[in-house]
Chain A
Amino acid sequence: MDRGTCLVWVFGDYADYFQNRVTLQLIAKGKALASELGTRVGVVVLGEDIGQYVMEYVAHGADVIYAADNNALKDYDVELFTAVAASWVEIFRPEIFLAGATAFGRELFPRIAKRLRTGLSADCVALEIDRETGAFVQTTPAFGGDLLADVVTPVMRPQMATVHPGIFRELPHDPFALAELIHPPLPNLPERKIEVVRRRKEKARRASLTDAGVVIVGGKGVGSRANFDKLFQLAELLGGEVGATRPAVNAGWAGEERLLGQTGKSVRPRLLITIGTSGALQYTAGIRGSETVIAVNRDHSAPIFGLADLGIVGDADRILSLLIEELNRRL
């Protein structure tokens, strides 16, 4: 196996593995970046009984694994993981350190970056090595998503970034893969000060909107509260959640927790059906991450059609009712 440096690191976030594949995606991108930089990609894995995740990361392209398999690290803890990751970074001095922008990654990485006094960019949509300057350029959405900011960390190291799931593509599983395995020493671990007392599966609407794979959004063009309520039927039929624009919320058809956009939530579903929405920037800022957008509006010149993969010019309520009828027929 290649010895040599390993200067591109990825944090191994294995919670909900098999659904949550962002670490695999970052290993693939990290490997490409490492190749450009003449180094290798390593994955940091902390926990207890983590062998199967280590092997998955190896199979998906990791050149090096930095692991601690220890009862003290059994459950995710921001302070514990910060202590370990920061101490290992100081031993090995990677140039780049990436993590998925999962809920945990988003609260772990800023803490590590602060401890190391280095820069961190959030929710990157692109990572590149600039041809001319050799700088590691981290691209994040800015100003509600209408602009992209190319961010660099000129001096401090490592250059840290979190990346949303789905931006990069994982490498196929290779059972023949071998990697270097390193168990660095653990620093003195702080005591756990946070305790998860109870954990139960919850279909709370608040959060599942942002995690939903299908989102149905209603705007003023839906017409009435009674019509808006039909969106819930459609959502149920497609296994999705319901969102609303500011005018619909102001009209009292939906609560503020369903608001999407600049002052509301951002969603990144596989499918977004947006009905009776004109496409104001304050709204579309919250839906730009959607994979597929189907828009329904009575006005063929509505700006929303500039964002839609399929645009339907028609009466919102009529289309909605017919669609629900059809889907019910097929049950």
Chain B
Amino acid sequence: MEGIRSGAVSAHHNYMISGMLRPGFLVGDPGSAKGFYLLADFLLPGENTPRISGRFFDERGDMLLELTWNRLMLDPADCLYRPTPYGFHLSKSSGEIILETTTRRFPNGYITSFSGRLYDEKGVLKLDQEGSSARLVGNDSIMLTAPYQGCFGKEKKNA
């Protein structure tokens, strides 16, 4: 229907992205060997730290880093991962922010928001910043209503 945005929302934890709460979302294919992806995984009750994975590039399409479940696995551009009281902070060696997460805690639940800009391997903008909120560019994201069960590029190679 015209003008209606719809999705899903979890009682326990949601990401705030593109102006909507989402229990989890995925852009791109974590199973690909080299391409961009961003995975914000679905959290089960008991888990209160968001699990972020992805392969991020700069505006020229040069690879910055690969993150798997919040851990830097590949870091060709000498980026910095720093935990913060409310999440984590990824920055280039120049200090420029790549991605920052902030998780707000409520009496019975959590909401995680993002700030930063992400580009894919062609230098196309995939995550944009509008004021204080982050927006996914394009319509190709998938919503997750359960923890991600797929495999990651590395595993595929080894399979």
- A–B interface present (Cβ within 8 A): yes
Tell me whether B109 is interfacial, beta carbon within 8 Å: yes
Interface pick from B9-17, B26-34, B85-93: B9-17
* Residues of B in contact, count (CB < 8 Å): 26
Q: Is the CB of B21 within 8 A of A59?
A: no
Q: Is the CB of A56 within 8 A of B2?
A: no
Which A residue's beta carbon lies closest to that of B2?
A185
* Residues of A in contact, count (CB < 8 Å): 25
Which B residue's beta carbon lies closest to that of A55?
B109
Which B residue's beta carbon lies closest to that of A65?
B9
Instruction: Compute how far the CA of A178 lies from the CA of B20 in the bound complex, rounded to whole angstroms.
Output: 15
Q: Is the CB of A177 within 8 A of B21?
A: no
Bitwise interface map of A from 55 to 87 toward B, beta carbon under 8 Å scored 1, else 0: 110110000010001000000000000000000
In the complex, chain A residues whose CB is within 8 Å of the CB of B108: 55-56, 59, 173, 175
Which B residue's beta carbon lies closest to that of A58?
B11
In the complex, chain B residues whose CB is within 8 Å of the CB of A174: 11
Q: Is the CB of B11 within 8 A of A178?
A: yes
Q: Is the CB of A177 within 8 A of B10?
A: yes
* Partner pick for B107 among A18, A54, A179, A185, CB 8 A cutoff: A18
Bitwise interface map of A from 1 to 34 toward B, beta carbon under 8 Å scored 1, else 0: 1000000000000000010000000000000000
Tell me whether A255 is interfacial, beta carbon within 8 Å: no
Instruction: Compute how far the CA of A184 lies from the CA of B2 in the bound complex, rounded to whole angstroms.
Output: 9
Interface of A is mostly: mixed
CB contact under 8 A between A52 and B4, given known A59-B11, A178-B11, A181-B20: no
Q: For residues 1 through 49 of chain B, which have their beta carbon under 8 Å from a beta carbon of chain A? A: 1-12, 14, 16, 19-21, 23, 44-45
In the complex, chain B residues whose CB is within 8 Å of the CB of A183: 4-6, 19-20
CB contact under 8 A between A55 and B3, given known A175-B45, A178-B145, A181-B9: no
Which 9 residue pairs are nearest across A and B when measured between Cβ atoms? A185-B3, A59-B11, A175-B45, A177-B11, A181-B9, A52-B106, A175-B12, A183-B5, A55-B109
* Partner pick for A51 among B4, B8, B21, CB 8 A cutoff: B21
CB contact under 8 A between A178 and B109, given known A1-B8, A55-B11, A183-B4: no
Q: Is the CB of A184 within 8 A of B20?
A: no
Tell me whether A327 is interfacial, beta carbon within 8 Å: no
Bitwise interface map of A from 180 to 191 toward B, beta carbon under 8 Å scored 1, else 0: 111111000000
What are 28 pairs between A and B in contact, CB < 8 Å?
A1-B8, A52-B111, A54-B9, A54-B21, A55-B9, A55-B106, A55-B109, A56-B108, A56-B109, A65-B9, A91-B4, A175-B11, A175-B12, A175-B108, A176-B12, A176-B45, A178-B9, A179-B9, A180-B7, A180-B9, A181-B6, A181-B7, A182-B4, A183-B4, A183-B5, A183-B6, A183-B19, A185-B2
